Amino acid sequence: MKKIIANFKMNKTNSEIKEYIMKLLPKFEQGKVDLVLCVPFTALTISKFLLADSGINLGAQNICDEDDGKSTGEISGTMIKNCGADYVIVGHSERRVKFKENGRIINKKIKLALKNRLKVVLCIGESLAEKNTLKTNEVLKAQLEEALKGLYENELDNIIIAYEPVWAIGTGKTPLVKELENTIKVIRKVVTDDFSPKAGEKIEILYGGSVDLKNCGTFCKIKNINGMLIGGASLDADNFSQIIKNIK
Ligand code: PGA
């Protein structure tokens, strides 16, 4: 079953989320795709309530890298779990760039998420400059190794890797199928080398970056990819329902 994760980013008030979920639910067939909605923190509780018994999972978009109380304005893994979320996005490029989140911080966040029984959607991806200077593989390997440092192999069951080239996010640009297949192979090889062949084969890897109604079918057919992380195209419930329909 393909995994589809919606990243709402900093979009939707609670009343907009309510309207969205009410539109999505009648169109959603349980058991066809594994769907996760990553909503803003402010909407976690209401979303949990509205999604009850729907088979749709809930996620947050960030987690604090500390779990003591001395982090004004931050949200801990304990709080996220307590709101009813089971997933959290870590290492999104918007946070790496804007909030200067480096590998060490991302690694701390992953460990705290796992401690709180949250599944981690770990985003990795190269910038356009890195792609143009043929550094993609090197960058992905470094990002993965920093993020997964000190983890046990069995913990990878709760890690989903989302390959999101920075140049593809919100730009309408996407990698070529061949390019993408090769990059996913590289990611699996890093996991194989650092953990085991079984881990490299088993780990879930998603593609993200300008996935839309037109191209979702193409990405879906790529063997090796377990699903998609969708930003902009997930924001309209009708459009997103149609994407989910195409994917299954
Ligand atoms: P996009 O965003 O689908 O709008 O490109 C994806 C993401 O940032 O996770």
* CATH number of the domain bearing residue 144: 3.20.20.70
Q: What is the pLDDT of residue 85?
A: 98
The per-residue pLDDT string of the chain (248 residues; one tens digit each, 9 = 90 and over) reads 999 999 999 999 999 999 999 999 999 999 899 999 999 999 999 999 999 999 999 999 999 999 988 999 999 999 999 999 999 999 999 999 999 999 999 999 999 999 999 999 999 999 999 999 999 999 999 999 999 999 999 999 999 999 999 999 999 999 999 999 999 999 999 999 999 999 999 999 999 999 999 999 999 999 899 999 999 999 999 999 999 999 87
The pick from 3, 4, 5, 7 for probing ligand 1's pocket by mutation, whose C-beta has the most ligand atoms within 8 angstroms, reads: 7
Q: What is the pLDDT of residue 223?
A: 86
Q: Which of 57, 101, 99 is nearest to 81 (CA)?
A: 57
Question: Phi/psi zone of residue 152: left (φ > 0), alpha (ψ -120 to 50 degrees), beta?
Answer: beta
Catalytic hit among 74, 138, 164, 179: 164
Q: Rounded to an integer, what distance in angstroms lies between the CA atom of residue 176 and that of residue 156? A: 28
Number of domains the chain contains:
1
| Residue ranges around ligand 1 (CB below 6 Å) | 7, 164, 169-170, 208-211, 229-233
Write down the residue that tokens 């949990």 correspond to: 48
The answer to whether residue 164 is catalytic is yes
For residue 38, the enclosing domain spans: 3-247
> Count of residues for the chain?
248
φ, ψ at 53 (rounded to 5°)? 60, 15
CA–centroid distance, residue 9 to ligand 1 (Å): 9
How many angstroms does the Cα of residue 68 sit away from the middle of ligand 1? 31
Q: Can you give the pLDDT at residue 232? A: 98
Nearest Cα neighbor of 33 from 51, 56, 49, 17 is 56
Distance CA 34, CA 56 (A): 7
Phi-psi region at 91: left, alpha or beta (left = phi > 0; alpha = psi -120 to 50): left
